[in-house]
Amino acid sequence: VVAVGFVVVLTGCGARANAPLPASEPALGAARRATSASPIKHIVIIVQENRTPDYLFQGIPHADIATTALDSEGKIVALHQVSLAAGYDLSHRNAAFITDYDGGKMDGFDRNLPPSDDMRPYGYAPRKEVSPYHQMARQYVLADRMFQTNQSGSFPSHQYLVSGASSAEPVSSDDVDSNGLNKKNLKQNAPVGCDAPARSIVDTIDPATGYPGPTPFPCFDRPALSDVLDAAGVTWRYYQHDLGPGLWHAYDAIQHVRYGPDYANVVSPSQTILSDVATGNLAGVSWVMPPSNAYSDHSGDASAKGPSWVAAVVNAIGTSRYWNSTAILIVWDDWGGWYDHVVPPQFNAYELGFRVPLLVVSPYAKKAHVSHVQYEFGSLLKFAETTFGLSSLGATDVRANDLTDAFNFGHPARAFTPIKAPPFNPGPDTRDGAPNPEDP
């Protein structure tokens, strides 16, 4: 059974500074240094929230991007400009996927919306707001056949991004209350993980049938990429807004990491990645979460600051000692309810989900290339396994393509051209995803 849902209450955990990596070739173990010919010694996975290629990448040459959609009445509607800062969210629960997908017709995105709101899913971003993303796509690689592995929202998506498997999809607080918790003591979509209140649960879905499964506590002990990185002596870090449970805090829900020595590699706040790059302390593999909702691209947060955050990380690496040895992979964790026209391949009743964007930024990335190869979240894991000569997790990485089409390692490293973007200035918004209506 693949678990796909949950709601819990936030428990307090303070921020922690990360310990420095070993001074000598900090990212790599001895075996990796001796055997690998790849120029890539650092992989940085930047995770943003809830958008589709049709929403973010209108006008990119050679990309498969739609300008119209088919609605639930069979009418063709034009996609229209909707700001990243629009004040509404869209459902992206498993039930919403089933409705939007509609057996592969891709015509259900407006089905459960009132007439006054039925055009909300059919949006695309103003070019000015997403200019940093377009600069990256036009200089490097945009993958237009990247699919989120799961057919639901953030928590399971982030589990797939570290382990190639999932155990949860957010559910409403009413569902949690029906299992004995006091609803008035819960925040909507409060975070989950091993530090969740003892009676917290997650919904599950059987991938063979699509039917509900058990409702376990949101703390799991599945293998993760961190385990094979550790075994090979490759360092890693997971940067997140704060410590403790959370929708985007993948390793807080993996028991042997949360309660073992590896939890020292979970670093807060997210912008510590910038100082780690500046001080020569970048790990072999880094996952980078948004520093707050305001910088996440998540719908409904009245903010268009996400591109400035991503550009800040890319520019920091691009102007550092690490540029010639790094691959930056920028991915969005789910479709967020926004329209996308490409029918996702179906492996079972829960995989795959809708398209999400993937940008590959590296001195070895093909120039202005649109990759039409099918990818999923397991592709990021497989790329790390291939790059560092790791054993397989034996999960979705086995079936996934490994991003080979995005690179040309036969060419010398390209010089970095800074991405033009508004300055990244973290403000007082310290939310980590909990107050946002993740599943309206």
pLDDT tens, position by position, 8-24: 222 334 456 565 665 43
Place 188 in a pLDDT band, splitting at 50, 70 and 90.
Answer: very low
Q: Could you tell me how many helices (H) and strands (E) the chain has, helices first? A: 11, 14
- CB burial of 184-199 (b: ≥16 within 10 Å; e: otherwise) equals eebebbbbbbbbbbee
Residue 169's DSSP bridge partners are 203
Mean confidence (pLDDT) of the chain? 86
Q: Residue 435: pLDDT band by 50, 70, 90 thresholds?
A: very low
Q: Is residue 262 helix, strand or coil?
A: helix
Report the alpha-carbon distance of residue 216 to residue 173 in Å, rounded.
15
Kindly report the number of other CB atoms within 10 A of residue 300's CB atom. Answer: 18
Q: What confidence tier does 63 reach under pLDDT thresholds 50, 70, 90?
A: very high
Angle at 307 between CA 306 and CA 313, to 5 degrees: 95
Percent with pLDDT over 70 in the chain:
83
- Please tell me the predicted confidence (pLDDT) of residue 302: 92
Q: Which of 329, 424, 420 is nearest to 131 (CA)?
A: 420
Which pLDDT score is estimated for 20?
63
The reported pTM is: 0.89
Residue 168: per-residue pLDDT: 53
Token readout for 82 is: 């909707």
User: Cβ neighbours of residue 239 under 8 Å, at least 6 residues apart?
Assistant: 267, 268, 269, 270, 271, 272, 273, 286, 287, 288, 289
Q: What is the mean pLDDT of residues 364-369?
A: 98
Whether a cis peptide bond, with omega within 30° of 0, leads into 247 is no
pLDDT in tens, 204-252: 888 888 888 788 888 989 899 999 999 999 999 999 999 988 889 999 9
∠ CA 261-40-60, rounded to 5°: 110
Q: What is the pLDDT of residue 191?
A: 63
pLDDT of 176 above 70: no
Q: Are 195 and 257 in contact (CB under 8 A)?
A: no
Cβ neighbour number for residue 41 with a 10 Å cutoff? 22
- Do 288 and 266 meet the contact criterion of CB atoms below 8 Å apart? no
Helix, strand or coil for residue 43? Answer: strand
Residue 437 has pLDDT above 60, yes or no: no
Contact 306, 290 (CB under 8 A): yes
